[in-house]
A = this chain, B = another copy of it.
Amino acid sequence: MKIRRLLIANRGEIAVRVMRTAREMGIATVAVFAEDEAGARHVREADGSVSLGAGLPRDTYLDVSRILEAARASGADAIHPGYGFLSESPALARAVAEAGLLWVGPPADAIEEMGDKVRARRRMEAAGVPVVPGSAAGALTDEELLAEGRRIGFPLLVKASAGGGGKGMSRVDRPENLPAALAEARRIAGAAFSDERVYLEAFLAHPRHVEFQVFADTAGNTVHLLERECSVQRRHQKIVEETPSAALDGALRARMGEAAVAAARAVSYVGAGTVEFLLDSGRFYFLEMNTRLQVEHAITEETLGIDLVRAQIEVASGTSLPSAWREGRISPRGHAIELRLYAEDPVEFLPRAGTILAWEEPTGPGVRVDSGVEKGSRVGLDYDPLLAKLIAFGSDRPAAIARAARALKEWVVLGVETNQPLLAAVLASDAFVSGRYATDLLATMPPIAQTPPPPEAWIAAALALSAPPESTGVLAAAAPDPWGETGSWRPGR
């Protein structure tokens, strides 16, 4: 079935990115938006848009019935969920199918199977995919889990069965701390997922986080599209990804790729998905499967020269995977690095709000920016603080790093504090440059130095403070107002 009008049930950079491919395929695009985002970039780039009403995300982007209403109202015949929000909601996947629309994502059953982390572990073990040693699926009470914990050995991790993204996860170093940790994890898991069940996993000292892109079609073809190295994380959230991973050789890559394909097959997967592994001392363990497009999908696109969103739409329309993929004729080339620009301070990772007063994206050979904001965009606290992704491609890893650093330095962002200094520090760090790093990279880095302003910054500031305020190019309406007065311009006091 050929899709004519695609509703993107998301916001920010991923909504914009999906629309671009849709437009190239001759498919009309429909944006949805919460009222506070009526003028947002993803709305402005769509062919049409539907309001989801006012309120917090749970009443807008996370409301299955509103998304379906929007699809009906706009005449959309298909829905792309992006990542986050409802992308891993079996309820939406089912409701879309029941409404007679196409779902650009995996079957609801596959989402459900992989969404329950304990069930997924069991499935993977049965499919011969190695998993991190952990507690038995039946162990639920404190007593049962304590016994399992002694068997696995401390330190270990407590994790939410329904979880993801590290929510509800904590490290426990001694048996006596386990009960308190279990209670806390159950509370968080209950609040976040309406499911209090937790389980235990062995703690790996210096694991790398390496994931494989998988893709399957409705004809039963399942392939992998190589790996992404995602070990640069802050508080369990990725901030820099690269491909290929310096930790894999050809043999290990082949074994992990096979395991990823086996994982996808075990749940009769269809569409784009990602199988995450922990890699420690040359051994790898299934971590979880993300049953959606990944934030960092773009680095795979750059090294393979493919468009994963186009492939998603084609598979959803009933087309088979490209024959080159089916026959293993993918041609990885060069090196790609993604930097995630977050609206957050670079030291404590506290989210920042504000209005983007200056926004000049880097450009040029080998530089791609997937962005969800623009000059004038309002950045609030109700959504993920990801502003944009910089993807740098180079013919080898040093060239890609140099290009990423060059582009990052050229990126002008004013109005909202970002993690730009942290990203620059990662690129310049010995550990990252060497390629030998694990998920504790950030912990081992020296703290971000607060450099004093260079003379040019003092001069620019003095010039701006000497001039009449209108001459600084700031829009009156866009100016934040930390002094407590209301918005419009006033002369310097």
A406 near B23: Cβ-Cβ < 8 Å: yes
Enumerate chain B residues within 8 angstroms of A334, measured Cβ to Cβ.
305
Nearest neighbor of A374 in chain B, beta-carbon distance: B360
CB of A17 within 8 Å of the partner chain: yes
- Chain A: interface residue count, which band? 35 or more
Pick the contact of A370 from B23, B305, B364, B369 — CB < 8 Å?
Answer: B364
A365 with B395, Cβ < 8 A, contacts A333-B305, A333-B331 known: no
B394 near A307: Cβ-Cβ < 8 Å: yes
Pick the contact of A20 from B26, B365, B395, B405 — CB < 8 Å?
Answer: B365
Docked CA distance A331–B303 (Å): 12
B310 near A24: Cβ-Cβ < 8 Å: no
CB of A258 within 8 Å of the partner chain: no
Enumerate chain B residues within 8 angstroms of A363, measured Cβ to Cβ.
361, 363, 368-369, 371
Docked CA distance A322–B366 (Å): 19
A-B contact pairs, 21 of them (CB 8 A): A16-B364, A17-B364, A17-B365, A23-B406, A24-B402, A25-B402, A298-B365, A301-B365, A306-B395, A307-B394, A307-B395, A310-B399, A322-B395, A331-B331, A331-B333, A363-B363, A363-B371, A364-B368, A364-B370, A365-B368, A365-B370
Interface residues of chain A, those whose CB is within 8 Å of chain B, are: 16-17, 20-21, 23-26, 298, 301, 305-307, 310, 322, 331, 333-334, 361, 363-371, 393-395, 399, 402-403, 405-406
Q: What 10 A-B pairs are tightest by C-beta distance, nearest first?
A: A24-B402, A305-B334, A305-B333, A20-B364, A24-B406, A23-B406, A306-B395, A24-B403, A331-B333, A331-B331
